C-alpha cells in the first residue's frame, strides 16, 4: 500500500486521499458512454415528451460475477457525477481539471475493502439526465438545431432518471441489482428504484434523504433558481459560448452550502473568526471566515457546473414525492416494494431531517417491509453522508452481509 496523497487545495488546507496505486483505491478510472435512447426508442418522460437521443456517462468498478448477482447501483446527488471513486484518467481529455486534484466524490466509501467493497461487488454509477457531466443535458447539442438545448431541454424527474438507469442496467445484462444506494437526492433515486422496479432491487441504502423535500428545502431551491434566472448573463438559458450566469450560480451554490452544513458545524469551523486580524475592517466586503468559505465554494462551483443543469436538477428534486406511487399515500406506496432497507439520517441534518427519514421508516414498517433505521449523531449536517465514512462503513457492511442492524440511534 502506497502513502496517501496529501494534496494542498486552493484554500491552503490539506486532505488525505488514497493514491491511485494504493491497494485501497479503485485506481485510475475512465468514463464510459452509451446511447440509451434514440429516435426509434426514445425515453418516455413524465412531462409527456418522448425524448431522444440520450447518451449516458457511467463508470463501473469491480467485476460482475458469473451469476450477475453482485451489482450495486450508486446514485449521485445534485452536483454529483458518475465518477464515484478513484482517479479520472481522462480529466485532461474531457477538460475536467478539478478531477486532477481529488478522487471521486465517494472515494472514502467505494474501493477494495471499503464499505462498498469492490473486491466483492460490481459498482455502477451513471450521471443523471439533465446534468452536465457526460449524460445528455441542457448544455448538449440539440440535433434538431445544432445548438445547445438550453431551456428547450425537457423538464425531467427522478422517475425519468431511474427509468433511464434501468436501461443501463439491462444493457449491462443485470436483471436484479443486489442493492441501490445513495444520499440526499441520490437516496431519493434509490427509493424510487424500489418503487418503480420492485423485482429488480434486492436492498436499498438510503442516506440523509426522504420521500420528499420539505417546504424549507423548496424555499432554498426557489431562491437559488431565482438568482440564476435573474443573472444578467442568463439570457433565457442561451448563454453557451458567451459569458455564463456565474453570479447567479455562485449565489445558488453558496446557499446550497449553508444547507449542507449545520449550525454546530459552522460554529466549530468558523466561530465568527475574522479572515485576517481580529477586528472589523469597516468595509462592505468580506470580513468573516464563513463569508470567505462561501465565496470560495461559490466560485469553485461555477468553474465546474452548468447553471441550466442546476435549474433542471433542483426542479426534479422539488417535484419528487414517493407518495405519488400510492396516490398521495406513502404507506400505500411502500406496499409496492420488495426490497430490504437501510435508512440512515444524521442528527444535525436540517435539509433532510432525521424526522423525515424516520417517517419513511415508519411507513415501511407499517407496510411490513424489512427496514433498519439509524440516526447517526453527527455535527456535520447534511454533508455527513459524505463525511461520516467510518460510522457508515460498519452499518453498510453489516447490512450488505445480510444483517439487520439495530433499530435506533447509534453513537
Residues near a second copy (CB under 8 A) are 46-48, 151, 154-155, 157, 212-216, 218-220, 222-223, 225-227, 229-230, 232, 247, 250-251, 254-255, 258, 263, 266-267, 269-272, 280, 282-284, 286-288, 290-291, 294-295, 298, 311-312, 315, 318-319, 321, 350, 353
Whether 92 is catalytic is no
**Complex with a second copy: residue 274 or 365, whichever CB lies closer:** 274
If we measure between CA atoms, which residue out of 272, 227, 269 comes closest to residue 247? 227
Shortest distance (Å) from residue 291 CB to a second copy = 4
**Complex with a second copy: residue 201 or 360, whichever CB lies closer:** 360
Instruction: Identify the active-site residue in 79, 126, 131, 184.
Output: 184
Q: What is the largest CA-CA distance in the chain?
A: 68
Shortest distance (Å) from residue 311 CB to a second copy = 5
Shortest distance (Å) from residue 136 CB to a second copy = 17
Instruction: Identify the active-site residue in 18, 309, 382, 383.
Output: 382
Distances (CA, A) of 228 to 256, 264, 371: 13, 29, 40
Shortest distance (Å) from residue 102 CB to a second copy = 24
**Complex with a second copy: residue 1 or 47, whichever CB lies closer:** 47
Cα dihedral value 257, 258, 263, 268, nearest 10? 40
**Complex with a second copy: residue 99 or 247, whichever CB lies closer:** 247
Shortest distance (Å) from residue 227 CB to a second copy = 5
Q: Interior CA angle at 212 toward 382 and 187, to 5°?
A: 55
**Complex with a second copy: residue 52 or 258, whichever CB lies closer:** 258
Shortest distance (Å) from residue 226 CB to a second copy = 6
Shortest distance (Å) from residue 174 CB to a second copy = 31
State the residue for C-alpha cell 462498498.
116
Shortest distance (Å) from residue 250 CB to a second copy = 7
Instruction: Identify the active-site residue in 231, 306, 349, 383.
Output: 349
**Complex with a second copy: residue 29 or 250, whichever CB lies closer:** 250
**Complex with a second copy: residue 55 or 289, whichever CB lies closer:** 289
Whether 214 is catalytic is no
**Complex with a second copy: residue 231 or 388, whichever CB lies closer:** 231
Whether 107 is catalytic is no
β-pairing, 50-51 vs 43-44, is: antiparallel
- Residues in Cβ contact with 252 at an 8 Å cutoff, skipping those fewer than 6 apart: 224, 225, 227, 228, 307, 310
Q: How far apart are CA 375 and CA 58, in angstroms?
A: 31
Active site residues: 184, 349, 382
Amino acid at each position: 500500500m502506497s502513502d496517501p496523497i496529501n494534496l494542498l487545495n486552493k484554500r491552503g488546507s490539506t486532505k488525505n486521499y488514497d493514491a491511485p496505486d494504493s491497494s485501497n483505491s479503485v485506481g485510475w478510472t475512465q468514463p464510459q458512454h452509451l446511447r440509451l435512447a434514440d429516435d426509434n426508442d426514445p425515453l418516455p418522460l413524465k412531462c409527456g415528451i418522448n425524448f431522444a437521443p440520450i447518451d449516458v456517462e457511467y463508470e463501473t468498478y469491480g467485476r460482475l460475477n458469473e451469476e450477475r448477482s453482485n451489482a450495486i447501483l450508486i446514485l449521485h446527488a445534485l452536483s454529483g457525477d458518475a465518477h464515484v471513486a478513484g482517479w479520472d484518467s481522462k480529466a485532461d481529455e474531457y477538460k475536467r481539471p478539478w478531477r486532477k486534484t481529488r478522487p471521486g466524490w465517494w472515494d472514502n466509501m467505494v474501493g477494495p475493502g471499503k464499505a462498498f467493497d469492490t473486491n466483492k461487488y460490481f459498482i455502477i454509477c451513471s450521471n443523471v439526465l439533465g446534468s452536465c457531466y457526460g449524460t445528455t443535458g441542457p448544455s448538449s447539442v440539440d440535433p434538431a438545431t445544432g445548438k445547445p438545448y438550453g431551456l428547450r431541454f425537457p423538464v425531467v424527474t427522478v422517475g425519468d432518471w431511474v427509468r433511464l438507469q434501468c436501461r443501463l442496467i439491462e444493457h449491462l445484462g443485470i436483471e436484479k441489482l443486489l442493492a441501490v444506494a445513495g444520499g440526499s437526492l441520490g437516496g431519493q433515486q434509490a427509493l424510487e428504484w424500489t418503487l418503480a422496479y420492485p423485482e429488480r432491487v434486492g436492498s436499498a441504502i438510503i442516506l440523509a434523504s426522504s420521500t420528499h423535500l420539505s417546504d424549507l428545502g423548496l424555499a432554498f431551491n426557489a431562491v437559488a433558481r431565482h438568482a440564476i434566472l435573474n443573472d444578467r448573463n442568463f439570457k433565457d438559458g442561451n448563454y453557451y459560448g458567451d459569458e455564463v450566469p456565474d453570479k447567479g450560480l455562485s449565489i445558488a451554490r453558496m446557499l446550497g452550502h449553508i444547507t449542507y452544513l449545520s449550525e454546530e458545524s459552522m460554529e466549530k469551523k468558523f466561530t465568527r473568526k475574522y479572515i485576517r486580524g481580529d477586528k472589523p475592517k469597516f468595509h462592505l466586503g468580506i470580513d468573516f471566515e464563513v463569508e470567505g468559505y462561501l465565496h470560495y465554494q461559490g466560485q469553485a462551483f461555477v468553474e465546474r457546473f452548468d447553471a441550466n443543469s442546476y435549474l433542471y436538477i433542483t426542479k426534479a428534486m422539488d417535484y419528487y414525492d414517493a407518495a405519488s406511487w400510492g396516490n398521495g399515500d406513502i404507506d400505500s406506496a411502500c406496499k409496492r416494494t420488495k426490497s430490504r432497507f437501510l435508512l440512515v439520517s444524521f442528527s444535525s441534518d436540517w435539509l433532510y431531517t432525521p424526522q423525515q427519514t424516520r417517517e419513511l421508516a415508519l411507513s415501511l414498517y407499517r407496510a411490513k417491509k424489512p427496514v433498519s433505521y439509524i440516526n447517526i449523531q453527527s455535527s456535520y449536517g447534511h454533508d455527513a453522508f459524505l463525511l461520516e465514512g467510518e460510522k457508515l462503513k460498519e452499518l453498510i457492511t453489516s447490512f450488505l452481509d445480510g444483517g439487520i442492524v439495530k433499530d435506533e440511534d447509534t453513537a
